[in-house]
Structure 1
Amino acid sequence: MALPMQRCWARLRAVTLPWPAAGYHARPRIWGLDTIYKPDPNDPNTKDWHKGPAYEAKLYGRFGSASGVSPESLWPSPEQLQALEDEEKEWQPSLREMQERLEAKDRELEKTQRERERLIAANMAKMPKMVEEWRRAKKEAKQKARDEKARKERLLALAREKFGIHVDFRSPKFQEMVKELEKEERKKMKALKKQQREEERAAMAAVLNAIPTPTKPASPATDSKA
């Protein structure tokens, strides 16, 4: 079993490779790990990431005092330290600050919930009145629709009496008749309202006349003369 597999592998390598190759693996080249590479910052060919305190801190962290870097120079300045403290306070608050923020958020949520419950209670208290107004408006709309339907039927009956069975609602004669009837109805309503006002005034006058007028008491001087 092993011999046919070896033959197959040899033929496959002969087909894929133009010449025989040996299974050779070279050792990786090790660059100077024992030496310290510290570029000149004044050299224009020096890369930006080879300059500055970040690279010096990297050298000091790898080689220690052998790097020639002074650890005092790596310590942040008072301004940088203040900036770091401010950033830490903003992004890494203390436990007490986080608790206060959570408590304030809970209070705000409770206030919002109470306001919502108060609004719901107020709307529920207004609900019967709103339902009654809705029912009254719906009833008035139905009554208005019925009145309008009755008016149209009455106008249609009058038009048929005047113009015959076949009536064109778009004809000028029919529109003129409608205007005249509406004008007469407004006059009748106006006269009816005037009559009602006059009757109310007459009833009020009758009530006022029925009230007895109080008599004026006699003065003491008149009584002594008597």
Structure 2
Amino acid sequence: MAASTLSQRAGVFLRTFRVFTSYKAVVPVICRCGAVLQSAGYNPKPLRLNLRDPYIPDKDDEKTPQWQKTAHYDRKLFGRYGSASGVDPASLWPSHAQLEDIIAEESQWHPPLEVMLKNIEAKAAEETAKRLAKEKLIAENMAKMPKMIKEWRQAKKESKKKLKEEKARKAKLLAEARERFGYAIDPRSPKFLEMVAEIEKEEKKKRKLLKRRLREEQVAALSSAPSSAPSSAPPAADDGADDPA
């Protein structure tokens, strides 16, 4: 009973498969229930060339598109229709100028093996020279590093010292302004700036007087030093008389 039922189902499946494959493309699809056949309704027709009456565009006609008047389209027509296209095969070859351009392009983008090896060697030599120069520069800078660190620390120390002196000077000026005016004054006010200008003028005058005094002391010290005159020794007398001839 089971065998007869299975044979009937197999016969129905084969008949259905023959019907579908007779006029449509069949694609098997696997699902949970098993294999299911799907038919594709699209069956494209083969491309047939009309060699009896091919389409050859008229290049002298204004209605003909420009892309159908190019050499590329002529090559396409000759490749499709052959001699029936009416295209001269000699005109399909590139001209001398085009050949030179093609050769130049090939030599630029597809150089021979020897040229490629030379380029690789030159590039490797250039990279080696750059690496050696960089290593030399690093070695020189590393040799200068202790001196540079020392100078940087000295400059930083001087900068801190100068900043500290500037803060102390500003605090001193503010205290002097408070003592002069009797109240705390803004360091950006014109009164404070005027007072600072006066103090700087007085300090400049004091420095000038001190410099003049030092110069006068140096001149006095030079003038008070004993002047030593050069001493000339008397000529020595001859002890012996001239011998008679």
C-alpha displacement of 1:194: 4.2
- Distance in 2 of aligned mates of 1:147 and 1:33: 102
Q: Contact conserved, 2:71 with 2:92, CA < 8 A, in 1?
A: yes
In structure 2, what residue type is equivalent to 1:116? K
Counterpart in 1 of 2:101?
Answer: 83
- Deviation track 1:143-198 (CA, whole Å, cap 9, x = no partner) reads 2233233334444554555554x343567766555444333332333344445556
In structure 1, what residue type is equivalent to 2:109? W
2:54 to 17, 34, 37: 37
- Distance in 1 of aligned mates of 2:190 and 2:66: 94
In structure 2, what residue type is equivalent to 1:150? A
1:125 to 132, 136, 143: 143
- Distance in 2 of aligned mates of 1:176 and 1:224: 82
Counterpart in 2 of 1:186?
Answer: 204
Unpaired runs of at least 5, structure 2: 1-40, 240-245
Counterpart in 1 of 2:155?
Answer: 137
Q: 1:90 to 1:223 in 2, by over 3 A?
A: same
- Distance in 2 of aligned mates of 1:25 and 1:141: 87
Q: Does 1:149 align with 2:174?
A: no
Counterpart in 1 of 2:33?
Answer: none
- Distance in 2 of aligned mates of 1:118 and 1:41: 72
- Distance in 2 of aligned mates of 1:27 and 1:148: 94
**What TM-score does the superposition give when structure 1 sets the normalisation length?**
0.58
In structure 2, what residue type is equivalent to 1:130? M
Q: Contact conserved, 2:56 with 2:85, CA < 8 A, in 1?
A: no
2:119 to 101, 106, 110: 101
Higher strand share: 2
- Deviation track 1:185-221 (CA, whole Å, cap 9, x = no partner) reads 3233334444555666777x59x979x8876677xxx
Q: 1:200 to 1:139 in 2, by over 3 A?
A: farther
- Distance in 2 of aligned mates of 1:176 and 1:113: 61
C-alpha displacement of 1:139: 2.0
| Aligned CA-pair RMSD | 4.5
Q: Contact conserved, 2:51 with 2:84, CA < 8 A, in 1?
A: no
In structure 1, what residue type is equivalent to 2:54? Y
- Distance in 1 of aligned mates of 2:82 and 2:201: 110
- Distance in 2 of aligned mates of 1:119 and 1:67: 71
Q: Contact conserved, 1:39 with 1:50, CA < 8 A, in 2?
A: no
Higher helix share: 1
Residue 89 of structure 1: SS of its match in structure 2? helix
Count of residues in Structure 1 that have an aligned counterpart in Structure 2 = 197
Counterpart in 1 of 2:185?
Answer: 168
C-alpha displacement of 1:132: 2.5
Unpaired runs of at least 5, structure 1: 1-23
Q: Does 1:74 align with 2:92?
A: yes
In structure 2, what residue type is equivalent to 1:120? I
C-alpha displacement of 1:128: 2.8
- Distance in 1 of aligned mates of 2:146 and 2:71: 76
Q: Contact conserved, 1:169 with 1:175, CA < 8 A, in 2?
A: no
**What TM-score does the superposition give when structure 2 sets the normalisation length?**
0.54
